[in-house]
């Protein structure tokens, strides 16, 4: 998986008002799909998020944690789910997931 600077990810998430979150989600899901063979492609992933008005995005947080665990990272899927349900997953989860991907 591509290594990305966590500082850069934070700055882009904040200063693009969420636009980078869509780009990050697309790229990260595409990389997860390539590595695990599970889930949708990046484009279909974004389409599902829009079609379901974000409900799929909540499920994806959990599923992405499970997929990262299959690649050798610790299983933080429940943490990702809790953070997104608390409303802080939009910034916290990409950072945590990217950190796990960087450490693989």
Backbone angles phi, psi at 5, to 5 degrees: -70, 130
Q: What is the pLDDT of residue 17?
A: 87
Q: What is the pLDDT of residue 44?
A: 92
Q: What is the pLDDT of residue 80?
A: 96
Cα distances from 37 to residues 5, 13, 26, 40, in angstroms, run 25, 27, 15, 9
The answer to whether 39 and 33 are in contact (CB under 8 A) is yes
Domain extents in the chain: 6-103
Q: Please indicate, yes or no, whether the overall pTM of this predicted structure exceeds 0.85.
A: yes
Q: Which of 60, 63, 73, 70 is nearest to 99 (CA)?
A: 73
The DSSP letter of residue 29 is H
* Average pLDDT along the chain, 104 residues, taken 10 residues at a time: 92 91 94 92 92 94 95 95 92 94 93
């Amino acid at each position: 998986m591509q290594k990305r600077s966590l500082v850069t990810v934070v700055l882009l998430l904040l200063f693009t008002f969420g636009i980078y979150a869509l780009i990050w989600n697309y790229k990260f899901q595409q990389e997860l799909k390539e590595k695990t063979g599970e889930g949708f492609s990046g484009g279909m992933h974004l389409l599902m998020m829009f079609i379901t008005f974000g409900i799929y995005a909540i499920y994806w947080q959990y599923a992405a944690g499970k997929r990262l665990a299959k690649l050798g990272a610790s299983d933080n899927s429940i943490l990702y789910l809790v953070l997104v349900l608390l409303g802080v997953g939009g910034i916290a989860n990409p950072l945590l997931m990217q950190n796990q991907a960087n450490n693989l």
